Chains A and B, each alone.
Chain A
């Protein structure tokens, strides 16, 4: 059986890929998809820690994380639709004025 740190390293890799995706991609939908990728890395981590401590509390936390991810997807995609209505494009650079 692979130890917990195999899973933790895999979770870190998934999270890092999500970070890279969020920073590099300019399409708003793909940016939000990258945040979901980061959530997947966190799920892997939580379950690995739950297994390491031999309790299910980590899995319970992962379920709460699913709730947060669902709310985030709903609100985030609502915002994406709103931004698309305003500018007619999904390009994040169209909102570069918000950098200040």
Chain B
């Protein structure tokens, strides 16, 4: 995919990207679903749309040359470390510490649910550098995954996203130089919150495409499969199920596209991104579930691939911010 330029569609040409606009990355997020493999889509998105943007936005020229250039070629793989065993939605509650020691920092802590965590060459790591400074005590680091003390503890088994390597990582006295600091000391929390916006919109686009994909396949099934003397899709209740699913998918798509339009036109639409992420991930699960229902027993079997969509999509209501966190963010945007 690096050879085809797909890993840098919307990235600057000076770093080997294609220099496309934001919509180009949405195209990739939508079309990758035709691989029928959520874990693949997620692994790519973490690389291109989650770990890479903060390096491009906050990184030094040396950091971009060291990591972004080979990442766009597909030669170096990126991952992003936020969540910890004891801190998920509550990002501010993370405990991984980076302590200054002369010209170096010493990092201790652990990260979990890290997509690409087993194959990655580098991690964008969220740490606390000043535990007493509240939101101003976080700092991002670019930590090479082959640094002494980085331990890939466990390949985690999951409900879905099976093709993705999800890691539990430990950091034991990992020493990095000051050059490994990404962005500003003490600004890590805000930097990662910025990153999450792009991640959520790309995720929402993937949900819409995933829902559309399973919808299309199920529509074909409903036209081919007969029961009681006619194609099952010609029963009114099944027809109406499709109408409802089509309405949900179209609505989610327009939320994503309208939000992308805002993004593209220089707005920073946190509220709308949050809404699109929440709605798209919800309907993707609902649509996948309804498609299993329409497939009946076949839907429950692995052979038809419908149950995989449900399993893969289920993560979206949790990852990149749970439904409940999304509702918190939306409400707060209105002063609640």
Query: Are both chains from one complex?
Result: no
A contacts, CB < 8 Å to B: none
B contacts, CB < 8 Å to A: none
